[in-house]
A and B are shown apart, each in its own frame.
Chain A
């Protein structure tokens, strides 16, 4: 009985206190000394390799607080675990918004997870900033003005490949293999954005389901159709299969692979590193293992941060360079806010970032936003597999959504 009585007292107390709190606090999540920011991430479960992003962001806000905070206030960063399960993301997000009363949400991880709260945060008009997902749907200011992504979308990536193909092989016959879902269709849309009316004549498409055992049949079809270029928007397991099959068939198309499926360990090694020579992908970050950045000031800044705040962090994990980039963007927005941390102003500043360089991004790749364009990063550089590692080539290319 004691529990229920305690609950009752607490609930009553909370109910009585709530209206007074709201009255005393005009801007949710912001007091004279503190700004509360909420986030969710897969801190457990199959996607938990991404949990280091939260670790990185927490440390970055710690550094900001050590430097005196922003607008005279310290940042309280609250991150909950959703285990990459959309229903839990919704539950935790509601907890952040309704109980913790955060000022806004930042860098929540995952496409299905953010999809689950997309409507909720927009109905509530809570800024839903710089999400950790590459889907294109976050750049839709007309229908979802309170949501904005960060990294280049899969669609932007496909636009960049299409631009490069047109430049190198204006008469290419392109085979496009994509997964039949939101992720894969971004590649279809990106190719269409650039090729426009020529799409039907130039491109032969094939799709696969995430549950398909193999994609051999699709590869064989595209080869039989006479394609000399192949663009793949598929998950790592099928990426490895595609690289191997194309090689075994003796087919030598100019081949592009989505940059989420090019991990040296999880894709290139299983496929056979020698079979992927010449494969093209793209990146927007500096690869910390690349000797070209040994004396780079941006990377030196990142290394100093890691040494001081995350001494036990794995320096080869590129989630840390990702987190540093997203965190730097967030801090820039907070600085731009001045003394007004209302949700309206936070959103206004987040969508009015003048082009800026970020320590961990490639030279020429800039972060920028406009109220009508929510694609935060629009440029990438191509890179080619040489049998051992990825080698950057050419200049930075900008997508078509500009």
Chain B
């Protein structure tokens, strides 16, 4: 049936958005073992920074890489200034800081840039509609960008000493410190990289959903479902999870539960995964000896 194929293609296009943001969530989790609730707001702020640069007349790709660099710096600064003082505080303190960050960054973005919906340019163009208008050149291009970022992240953690050191710092800070890894800076680096990936995700998402301060609010939830589904410590899994959530959400909305319960599908996935298989489809089960 034609309608079914259309829903799947549209789902893959939306799934690409979730995958990009899920990747940023996995990044920060890999580096710090925390899930940063302000991830979406930080990405939105980065996208607004890119928007200002482009509006000031900068070429797209210059603005793109400048934004990634600025976002990296913001991420590092947040870790150094806000997270470091509460490093040894209980989990709940971290959650409090994350929610505080979410509110502060979200409202500051609105205050500075206003709440009006803005269009954000895309670097990918096509003269004729692809797949009958179901997928735009941008959606295709941004999926390629997401996959490229995935490849970079995977290679970084797998093949570089720095990546190994970051993983060690997150899994076992004490031992890592004993073998000479500067754990504090590893955490800051993790924040910086997560913010940079978030910025890429934001710039890829904004041309599709349009830019406003609340752009990421809903997306983060779906991305979180994707990351959990794929395994929150597995970048590849998170990307696959993002695509699966996008398709599943469309199919369930169109044929099973109706559009009113589409959002519930994402929540059901989160709860289902946590109950049945907390490590996700591709995650590693970690046993600790007591």
Residues of A participating in the B interface, judged by any CB pair closer than 8 Å? 46, 180, 206-214, 216-218, 220-221, 223-224, 236-237, 240-241, 245, 247-251, 265-267, 269-271
Contact = CB atoms under 8 A, between A and B. Distances in A.
Contact of B260 (A207, A210, A214): A207
Contacts of B117: 236-237, 240, 266-267, 270
A208 B209 contact: no
A179 to B, nearest CB: 11
Given A213-B222, A267-B117, 16 more contacts: A213-B205, A214-B208, A216-B10, A216-B14, A217-B7, A217-B10, A217-B11, A220-B134, A221-B253, A224-B2, A240-B119, A241-B210, A247-B133, A249-B132, A250-B133, A269-B119
A210 B221 CA distance: 13
Contacts of A213: 14, 17-18, 205, 208-209, 218-219, 222
A247 B136 CA distance: 12
Contacts of B14: 213-214, 216-217
A208 B259 contact: yes
Contacts of B217: 211
A241 B133 contact: no
Interface in B5-52: 6-7, 10-11, 13-14, 17-18
A144 to B, nearest CB: 27
Given A213-B17, A217-B10, A224 B116 contact: no
Contacts of A265: 116
Interface string B249-263: 110011000111011
Contacts of A46: 110, 115
B79 interface: no
B57 interface: no
Contacts of A237: 117, 209-210, 212
B244 to A, nearest CB: 15
Nearest to A212: B218
A285 B60 CA distance: 40
B94 interface: no
Contacts of B219: 213
Contacts of B123: none
Contacts of A180: 259-260
A212 B117 CA distance: 15
A240 B210 contact: yes
Contact of A250 (B17, B132, B136, B259): B132
A241 B212 CA distance: 13
Interface residues of B, number: 40
The 7 closest A-B pairs by CB, nearest first: A211-B218, A224-B3, A270-B119, A248-B133, A249-B133, A217-B250, A216-B10
B118 interface: yes
Contacts of A210: 218
B129 interface: yes
Nearest to A249: B133
A171 B133 CA distance: 27
Interface string B173-212: 0000000000000000000000000000000010011101
Select the residue from B17, B118, B218, B259 with max chain A CB neighbours within 10 A: B259
B127 to A, nearest CB: 13
A270 B208 CA distance: 11
A212 B134 contact: no
A270 B132 contact: no
Nearest to B223: A213
A217 B254 contact: yes
B267 to A, nearest CB: 11
14 contacts: A207-B258, A209-B263, A213-B209, A213-B219, A217-B250, A217-B254, A220-B3, A220-B10, A221-B253, A223-B6, A224-B6, A249-B132, A250-B132, A270-B119
A98 B218 CA distance: 40
A271 B13 CA distance: 18
Given A207-B260, A213-B17, A248 B129 contact: yes
A223 B7 CA distance: 11
Contact of B136 (A208, A248, A269): A248
Contacts of A218: 253, 259
